[in-house]
Structures are given as C-alpha cells and as structure tokens.
Amino acid sequence: MRLEDLGLIGNCQFSALISRAGDVVWCCLPRFDSEPVFATLLDDGAGRFLVAPAGGGLGTQRYLPNTNVLETTFATPEGRFRLIDFAPRFGQYGRRFHPTQLIRIIEPIDGLPRITVKCEPRVGWSRAEPFRVMGSNHVRFEGFASPLRLWTDIPLSYTDGVPFALTERRHLILSWGASVEESLPGLCDRFLRETTVYWERWVKQCNVPPLFQGEVIRSALVLKLHCFEDTGAIIASTTTSIPESPGSGRTWDYRYCWLRDAYHVVGAFRNLGQFEEREQFIQYLFNIVAANPTLDLAPLYRIDGTCDLEEKILREWAGFENQQPVRIGNAAVAQKQNDIFGELVLALAPVFLDERFRAEQTPLTLDLLDRIAQRAVAVSSTPDAGIWEYRGPGRPQTFSNVMCWAAADRMARVAEKHRPEKAFEYQAAAERIRQETLSHSWNAGMGSLAATFDGADLDAALLQLAPLRFLPPGDLRLGSTIDAIWKGLARDGWLFRYHTDDGFGAPTVAFLICIFWLVEALSTLGRGEEARNVFDLARTALSPLGLLSEDYDTSTARLWGNFPQAYSHVGLIHAAFAASPPWREIL
C-alpha cells in the first residue's frame, strides 16, 4: 500500500484514509486519538470498509474542487461508477455540525457495474471482531464503547462481500453513537450539498498567494482536518507507526497535539487569514496551563489536554508494509524541549500586536503570555532534547535557544505596548540570549551555526533563523549558515534534518518541511529565483491528491512517515507565500 494512493476525509471530529481500491484503511473513532475501527493500513486483520468493483482494481481519485469531499471513479468491463466519501460538516442552529459519521455514496455512471461492499470493523488494538446484529435497514456492531451502526439502502445480505449489480444510487452511513432516522437518499444528498458548500465558502475566505494556489488551498484544507474543534487541539498527523524509512524502526504515534507543531499550524492559518483556529488553540492552552501552574510543560498532549501517553509496542501487529514496530503513545511526552516556550509566545503575541484582535487582548491571556516568556528566558542555554526529540543525553540546542530568544524579543514588543515597565527587562534578556547563542554556536570552520553549543554538526532547523529575524538579512553569518545547510544536508536537491546518529542510526530519507524552510530562508535573503526553483522541486513530492507525509525517499521518489503530516503542509503554505510575488505585482 502506497501513501500516494490514499485520500483524507474528515470533519474536525474524526478523520479517515481511503485508498484507491475504495477501502477505508484507517479510521479512529470517535476522535483522532481513539483506538482504530479500520486499520488495514497497519495490519490486514485490523478492519476494513470496502466499496469496490466485484473483480477488484484501483480507481482514480480526486477531491471535489475546494472541498474535503473525495471522489473515486472506477471503470470495470461491465460499466463505470463513482464513490463519494465525506464526513459531514456545516453550520446548523448557530454552531458547527460535525457528527461522527462517515458517509459513502455509490453512483453508477454507465453500464451495469458489479460491486462489492464489505464492512468489517474491529474493536481497536485488540482487533476483536464485533458481534453483528442485523436490523431492518442497518447492521449493529456490538463490542464498542458506543453504538456503531451501518445504515444503508443496499440489501443487508450484500454488505459482507457478496457481489451485486449497481443499478441505482446507493448510500451508506457508518455512525458512531447517533441513530439515523431520516430517509437515507435525502439525508445523504443534503449532507453532501451542505458540506460541499461549507468547504467552498471556507476556501473563499482564505488568503492565497498569486502562485501555487492549488497547492496552498489543498494544504489549507488538510490542516483544517487536523484541528479538533471540541477542545482546540491540533494534531501532528492522522496516523501512527508509518516508518520514516524502510527498515528504520522509526515508527511513532503522531495522533496528538505537539505544542510546537500547533504553533506552526496557527502561523499558517494566519497567513491564510483564518484566525478561529488560534482562538480555539488558546483555550486548549489555557486548559493545559491550568493543570500545570509551574509551566513545566510537556512537548505534547492528548487532544483533551491530558498526557497519559506511555509508549507501548504492539508486537502482534504487522505494521505498514510489514514494517514493525507498531507504537501507541509517545515517549517524547517525558522530554524537556525548551523551544516550545518560544513557539507558544510566537503563537500568542500577534493577539497583542494586531488591533483587529482587541477583544482577545484580555488580562488573562496577557498574563499567560508573560509567564511563558519568563519561562523561556529561564530555560535558555540549558540542555534539552530539542526540536528533533533526540532520545539520548540532552545538550544545549542552538535552535531551542533561538526560540527562547524569540520569546523574549516578541514579548519585549508586546510589553512596549501593554506592559511598558517590563519592556527593558525583555529587551535585555533577548540580547543576552542572542549573544550567548552566537558565542557558543558559531563554528567558523563550518561557516555556520552548529546544531548544539560548541558543536560541529549541521541542523536544518536553523534555516528558520531567517524568517525569525534572529540575524538581519545582510549579516554574513546568516547567509553562510543557510548555504552550509543547503550544501551539507542535501541529497538530490532534498534536505535532511541532520546527519547525526540519533540512536536509530543516521537518517536515510529527506524530511519534507526542511526543503520548505529553505525556500523561506532564500526568499528572506532576496534570492527569489533560487527559492522558486527549490519550491518547484518540492512540489514534485505531492501525491496525486496534493497530500504530503513527513519524509521523502529520494531514491525511490516515495512518501514515508505519518500521513498526512501537518508540519509538511505548514511548510508548503509558508514557502508558497514567501516564493510567490505579491498580488500587487500580478493584478
């Protein structure tokens, strides 16, 4: 199974991955970090929901334009049909309606195609087969925490894989909890129409650059599906345990909210002109801080704000393409990652620097921002696991210190406007942290800032020095660092995070966000033509549906790592805005 052959649907409550074979290969219910109901992505015996030609075969997938509604078209010797998959989302009664329902509409196009429908959920990580109870027009699957039912106007005898002729439009609703009382054709058509309109309207409200509009729109829609509207959490990825590269053992569970990743997503939404997600994330952050008044924050949390994330290995699971281990939970929750305080300040500071958000400029939010900035200053220059979550002894990480500087620098600007008595304190702290960073990290022999204090390794994360404005664009150390990273970490034009052995060996595949960071850095230095050339290369990694995973194998041109990856789509959005000329030069 190739990641390039998967499409994502969702509604900010749950999501699902659907293959070109018409199979729901991954779906956790009732929310992103729940146990899976369908998981053939990781094990053939872990549940599937198949709608396909009776003889099998792959279809052609596309999204209905500017939506998260997926269409798969199949051609068979007997005729053609299309499969429409979506999760309902639209406005109703003054709020968002996003039921935990997966809707599949099957529509003949021509001829008399014979199809197969097979709904075989499994009870989470146990992979236990639920007991099937047949109703008059639905199947109930017993053994789950809430009722799970398949409602359909297909004869129930055909829902366990018996082939049948598709003579008319048919409908399937897999529903967690809620019952379906309306006529299926009318309900499905209404939900499809209103969901389509919702996504089209949401896209119209997005800012996009003149160039690369299609890529930016798809990335924006993907990021929106990583937002858990109930709490404001933003997950890193839909999946767990897809290896970073074949045989690497680097299989992680990314179905949680990394505070760092969430900041980057919020920043991408700011570029897009969407701010609702930041408001919701701030509320999520308040909940976390209320449970941790000392601000000894973990790098990641569950989407309900808890952090019971003990990492476990499911040894009986086969893994993606038989690549083990399959992991749930994430040991990084126990790490110290000092950069997160800087990223949280950068996420919150725009509230107090943009007069459009006066209603959000509350004393409570300002106090939170101040406390996080103080914490960033306090932990600067101390050892941590860093942005790449090294699972070995901690060292002072240059990027972490840069983010502590960013926290003090941005808080100084906020203080000038809202707490002038503290402005000088933060200005002095920012300058002290910058000088400490430069004195310990600049390696003249490398012609670059090093990954760690007094180190000699490159780190692609330091490409962010440019957009963060840690050094001015004309500073020779900035340009030299960018060029050293570009030369030293590149393979076939793609960038690695680092070449260090991190306990799992040295990485063997490119990390996709790094090439987008390079585009941003080059654009910041005024090297626009180079930036656009790099961006054109980066776009070749996109799947046919415009989706990105975490990693890219340059030797086989294949996506690897958890999928879709919010980080990669964030990088694409920032890079596209940086590499594209402004609208005033186009219109």
Q: What is the 3-state secondary structure (H, E, C) of 168-220?
A: CCEEEEEEECCCCCCCHHHHHHHHHHHHHHHHHHHHHCCCCCCCCHHHHHHHH
Q: Which pair of structure tokens corresponds to residue 418?
A: 């809202």
For residue 215, the 8-state DSSP code is: H
The four Cα atoms 193, 195, 200, 205 give a dihedral, to 10 degrees, of 140
For residue 530, the 8-state DSSP code is: H
Residue 487 Cα to chain centre, angstroms? 28
Distance CA 115, CA 170 (A): 11
Candidates 500, 518, 505, 497; CA nearest to 575 is 518
Distance CA 227, CA 570 (A): 13
For residue 275, the 8-state DSSP code is: -
Distance CA 502, CA 240 (A): 20
Distance CA 584, CA 566 (A): 30
For residue 504, the model assigns a pLDDT of 74
For residue 302, the model assigns a pLDDT of 97
Q: Which pair of structure tokens corresponds to residue 231?
A: 């709490």
| DSSP helix, strand, coil percent of the chain (3-state; round to 5) | 35, 20, 40
Residue 566 sits at φ, ψ, to 5 deg, of: -60, -40
What stretches of 472-582 show up as alpha helix (H) in DSSP? Answer: 476-488, 512-524, 528-539, 566-579
- Predicted TM-score (pTM) of this structure: 0.95
Q: Which residues contact 525 (CB under 8 A, 6 or more apart)?
A: 466, 473, 478, 479, 482
Q: Which domains can be identified in the chain, with CATH numbers?
A: 3-202 (2.70.98)
List per-residue pLDDT tens for the chain, 587 residues long.
899 999 999 999 999 999 999 999 999 999 999 999 999 999 999 999 999 999 999 999 999 999 999 999 999 999 999 999 999 999 887 788 999 999 999 999 999 999 999 999 999 999 999 999 988 889 999 999 999 999 999 999 999 999 999 999 999 999 999 888 889 999 999 999 999 999 999 999 999 999 999 999 999 999 999 999 999 999 999 999 999 999 888 999 999 999 999 999 999 999 999 999 988 999 999 889 888 888 999 999 999 999 999 999 999 999 999 999 999 999 999 999 999 999 999 999 999 998 888 888 899 899 999 999 999 999 999 999 999 888 777 789 999 999 999 999 999 999 999 999 999 999 999 999 999 999 999 999 999 999 999 999 999 999 999 999 999 999 999 999 999 999 999 999 999 999 987 777 788 899 999 999 999 999 999 999 999 999 999 999 999 999 999 999 999 999 999 999 999 999 999 999 999 998 888 87
Distance CA 291, CA 146 (A): 29
For residue 33, the 8-state DSSP code is: T
> Strands, E, within 163-218: which ranges?
164-165, 170-176
Q: Which pair of structure tokens corresponds to residue 512?
A: 């996709």
> Strands, E, within 248-390: which ranges?
257-258, 300-301, 312-313, 327-328
235, 566 Cβ separation under 8 angstroms: yes
Distance CA 33, CA 15 (A): 10
61, 85 Cβ separation under 8 angstroms: no
Q: For the chain, how long is the longest CA-to-CA vector?
A: 77
